[in-house]
Amino acid sequence: MDADALNHAIAMMSQNMWAVYLCIFAAPFVQEDAAVIAAASLSLGETGSGPAIFGAVAIGLIASDLWKYWLGRAARSREWAARFAQKPSVVRAESAVVRKLGATLMAVRFVPGARIALYIAAGFFNASWPRFAGWIVVSAVCYVAAIFALFHLIGAVAGAQARLWLPIFAFAALLGYLLYRKVRAKQRAAGAET
C-alpha cells in the first residue's frame, strides 16, 4: 500500500470515527482475538481515542460472549440434551465447571479456540448467570488490557515501525496457533479411530 492511499484511509477514518468504533464493537462477534489485535493496533496510531477504542472492543467482546451462555441454556431444554447430561463424564465436567467457574473462565479467555464451547457449556450446566456474567466482564477487561499493554510496550520500544509489523506478526501467530490446534485435533481423531 502506498503512502498516499494509507494517508487517505487514515483521513477517512478520522472523519468517521463513530463508524470505526461501531466496527470495533462488532468485530468480536466475528473473531474475538483478531478484533482485539486490530483494536490494539489501531490504538497505536493517532486515529481515534485509545480509551474509546479499548472500551468499544471490550464491550463488544463482553456482548459477544454473554449470549453464548443462553445457547447452552436453550439446548438443555431439549430431550436429547437431558439424556446427554446424565452421562457420567458430563456430570463430572458439569461439577468441575460450576465449582470452578471463575478460574475456568479466566483461564479459557487466554486460549484461542476454546472459549465458545465453555461458554455454551456454562449455560448448559446451568451455571449461575450473575457469576458467569461477572467473570466474563473481568476476564474480557483483563484480556483486552493485557493485549493493549503488550502492543503499547512493544510499540514504545520498536517505534513507528511497530504499527506495521506488530499486527502482522500477531495475526500470523494467532493463525499459526489455530492451525496447530486443528492439526492436533485431526491427529487425535485419526489416532482414536485406529
* Structure confidence by residue, pLDDT tens digits, 77-104: 777 777 776 777 777 777 788 889 999 9
Query: Do 53 and 21 form a contact (C-beta atoms < 8 A)?
Result: yes
Residue 46, helix vs strand vs coil: coil
Mean residue pLDDT of the chain comes to 82
Cβ-contact 58, 141 below 8 angstroms: yes
Domain coverage including residue 25:
3-193
C-beta separation of 83 from 117 below 8 A: no
**Distance, CA of 47 to CA of 44 (rounded, Å):** 8
Cell 492451525 sits on residue: 179
The count of domains in the chain is 1
pLDDT in tens, 169-190: 777 777 777 787 778 878 777 7
CA distance 84 to 120: 15
Contact assessment for residue 47 and residue 12, using Cβ atoms and an 8 Å cutoff: no
3-state secondary structure of 3: helix
